[in-house]
Amino acid sequence: MSAAGDSAAGPLLLLGAEGQLGHEVRKLAAGRGLALTALNRKQLDITDAAAVKQALGRGYVTVINAAAYTAVDKAESEEALAMAVNRDGAAHLARACRDSGAALIHLSTDYVFDGLKGAGYREDDPVHPMNVYGRSKEAGEAAVRAALPAHVILRTSWVFGAAGGNFVKTMLRLGGEREELSIVADQHGCPTPAAALAEAVLVVAERLDETTYGTYHCAGAERTSWYDFAQAIFIGQEEITGREGPKLRPIATSDYPTAARRPPDSTLDSGLFQVTFGQGPIDWRRGLSTVLQELLVPQEKGQGLRGKV
Ligand SMILES: NC(=O)c1ccc[n+]([C@@H]2O[C@H](COP(=O)([O-])OP(=O)(O)OC[C@H]3O[C@@H](n4cnc5c(N)ncnc54)[C@H](OP(=O)(O)O)[C@@H]3O)[C@@H](O)[C@H]2O)c1
């Protein structure tokens, strides 16, 4: 990875700086001395087309869109807002990139698929979202493709990191409160550590040109279920703290009604990404143990479980 100034990617602009992915991109970029401007929602609301256009007029080579409406269940009752952020925000960014000559790295989701394929999804498989969030992200992808050839869309899944809200942190919190947890065992997918995804984003940024533009899947290599993921979380917790996790009970999706329907198996095949960008598979179990260390091992300031759990 190049240093600031001589990076093929820089200067970079990051939107959604305080999300899970945004947090990790900032951390990596700072460690590498990359020229990155990171904006949170207060600093740049991507639903504001004029503000986006103005921000993009400042000579960025690559824009990373980690901003999104990600509340999957809430989106069912907030469709207009989900569309404003995930479809219209993406469109504003793509048009502003086109007008300013920047390229765009845009994040999307496994939830553009219905999960009925029965095998890992490849990039050219037909999309068929099952919920509002998935439809809004699919519309965002379409808007990016329509406005801007100079883009890479990275579809990812089941993202977790030490910062922000996610399944790992929810499990640790609930595991501390209850003796038994019922976890859905018939939905499958690929957990993805936010740090590994951030690394992938920076690799893309460095190699972004007409030979790499397009859509890629970028997720943890090993397919699992929420139940098995929860088991891995509590095994990891016990290894670090010696504290036994709660008893886990596998349940069916039908036993756990949610506002949004979810794909039963949204496993992403990340092979094209790996070949194109020369990357190995993402080991989410290794990423999980790093995140658990970060969350559970008391830091210098003396706190254990940190952040928004
Ligand atoms: N999390 C997952 O499991 C998952 C799975 C598949 C794909 N993805 C995709 O991966 C990307 C990164 O996800 P993530 O997990 O890092 O999401 P996240 O933690 O929810 O972060 C999203 C960030 O976007 C910001 N944001 C929301 N509305 C905005 C707006 N109008 N203008 C500017 N910023 C806005 C949020 O700010 P506030 O906090 O202030 O609202 C938040 O900081 C997203 O494109 C997401 O769709 C995520």
Does a structural domain hold residue 48? yes
Does a structural domain hold residue 122? yes
Does a structural domain hold residue 25? yes
Banded model confidence at residue 6, pLDDT cuts 50, 70, 90:
very low
Pick the closest to residue 64 from 17, 27, 111 (CA basis): 17
Q: By three-state DSSP, how is residue 4 classified?
A: coil
Q: Supply the range of the domain harboring residue 86.
A: 12-166+191-223+266-284
**CATH code, domain carrying 273:** 3.40.50.720
Annotated catalytic residue: which of 133, 213, 216, 227? 133
Banded model confidence at residue 288, pLDDT cuts 50, 70, 90:
very high
Banded model confidence at residue 96, pLDDT cuts 50, 70, 90:
very high
What are the start-end ranges of the H helices in the chain?
A: 20-32, 49-56, 79-83, 90-100, 132-147, 167-177, 194-206, 226-241, 271-277, 284-296
Does a structural domain hold residue 240? no
Q: How far is the CA of 156 from the centre of ligand 1 (A)?
A: 12
Does a structural domain hold residue 256? no
CB 82 within 8 A of CB 136: yes
CB 278 within 8 A of CB 206: no
Match 């951030």 to its residue by tokens: 198
198 lines ligand 1 (CB under 6 A): no
Does a structural domain hold residue 94? yes
227 is known as an active-site residue:
no
The answer to whether residue 300 scores a pLDDT higher than 90 is: no
140 lines ligand 1 (CB under 6 A): no
What's the number of domains the chain is made of?
1
CB 198 within 8 A of CB 204: no
Does a structural domain hold residue 234? no
- Ligand 1 nearest-atom number relative to CA 107: 45
- Out of 161-170, 230-239, 293-302, least confident range: 293-302
In DSSP terms, which residues pair with 273 in a beta bridge? none
Banded model confidence at residue 3, pLDDT cuts 50, 70, 90:
very low
10 lines ligand 1 (CB under 6 A): no
147 lines ligand 1 (CB under 6 A): no
Query: In the structure encoding, which two tokens stand for residue 268, read together?
Result: 């992403």
The answer to whether residue 59 scores a pLDDT higher than 60 is: yes
284: burial class by Cβ within 10 Å (0-12, 13-18, 19+)? buried
Q: For the chain, what is the mean pLDDT?
A: 94
Does a structural domain hold residue 259? no
